[in-house]
Amino acid sequence: MNASLIISELKFKAIRSSGAGGQHVNKVSSKVELSFNILNSKGLTDEEKLRLEQKLSSRLTKDGVLYLQCGDSRSQHRNKELVIKRLIDVLKAALYVPKKRIATKPSRGSVKKRLDSKQKHSLKKSNRKKPFF
């Protein structure tokens, strides 16, 4: 994944933020909508595109475009930075491949140590009982 190449391929659109806010909200387009076409991106390899298409299938359009919005800040520039960061985080999370777990056996020493401690604990408990005549 080439982040700088991906950032150059992004398309931005400024729209008006929703919700309360009075006069400022009604006249300023501070919310930023980002669109990123995963299938036509040159910053991703074919394997990465396939993985993203599978992982983000619910968030993609039929054309393979990912839309993200950010209206957290009153500043359009700050919202642009936030939505780019959010996109990079989403892509990294989707491209993360967890390590395969390798099944291992406990060592002979650790098994012996565990059984000895169980035996010691059992003896301690049995010594607390009333003697049987």
Contact (Cβ atoms closer than 8 angstroms) between residue 11 and residue 33: no
Residue 54 placed within a domain: yes
Residue 124 included in any domain: no
Is 76 contained in some domain? yes
> Can you read off the two tokens belonging to residue 75?
């500043």
Residue 68, pLDDT above cutoff 90: yes
In a domain, 110, yes or no: no
- Say whether pLDDT at 1 is over 80: yes
pLDDT in tens, 18-54: 767 677 777 888 899 999 999 898 989 999 999 999 9
Q: Is residue 123 part of a domain?
A: no
Distance in angstroms (rounded) separating the CA atoms of residues 133 and 80: 84
Residue 122 within any structural domain of the chain = no
Question: Which residue range(s) make up the domain with 10?
Answer: 3-95
CA distance 50 to 117: 51
Judged by phi (left if over 0) then psi (alpha if -120 to 50, else beta), residue 99 lies in beta
Specify if 23 maps to a domain: yes
Domain count, the chain: 1
